[in-house]
Amino acid sequence: MTKEGSVNCPVCERTTDMSWCAREDCDIIGAMGEGDFEAGVQIFFDQWDDEVFQSIEVAMVTDPKNWWVGAHLWWGMRMRNMLRTNGFLDDRSPSGNLDDIYVELIEAAVKKWADDST
């Protein structure tokens, strides 16, 4: 029996209180549709100049695991909405919620930028 308010993770099917369980071994990116991850990365990659990439990279290096936490409520939601206004809607996330994947998309866009500029 699952406790009230909890659901099964759409990726690994284990019980979670959130839209996605966010466990270390739960591969939400791997559960995305073919080409969806790359398409989301490309939206961020196309929007930003070097200055933006640089400032995110600094934040990521400073706190690789939690760099986005303090920024989620304003900056992060703006970034998530940027995906939506570019036609990348919540149904592209296996959990049905872009909040669960936008950070990974941003991290991959920054990595792509860093790889391209070396």
What residues make contact with Zn ion under the rule CB under 5 A? 9, 11-12, 21, 26
Give the span between the Cα atoms of 103 and 108, in whole angstroms: 9
- The CA–CA distances, whole Å, from 1 to 4, 8, 115 equal 9, 11, 48
Residue placing its CB nearer to Zn ion in the complex, 37 or 44: 37
Shortest Å distance, C-beta 27 to Zn ion: 8
**Of the two residues 21 and 105, which places its CB atom closer to Zn ion in the complex?**
21
Q: Which two tokens stand for residue 44?
A: 């961020």
| Residue 91 near residue 33, CB atoms below 8 Å | no
Please report how close the Cβ of residue 91 comes to Zn ion at its closest, in angstroms. Answer: 18
Least distance from C-beta 31 to Zn ion, angstroms? 9
Give the separation between CA 21 and CA 85, rounded to whole angstroms: 26
- The residue among 15 and 81 lying less far from Zn ion, judged by its C-beta, is 15
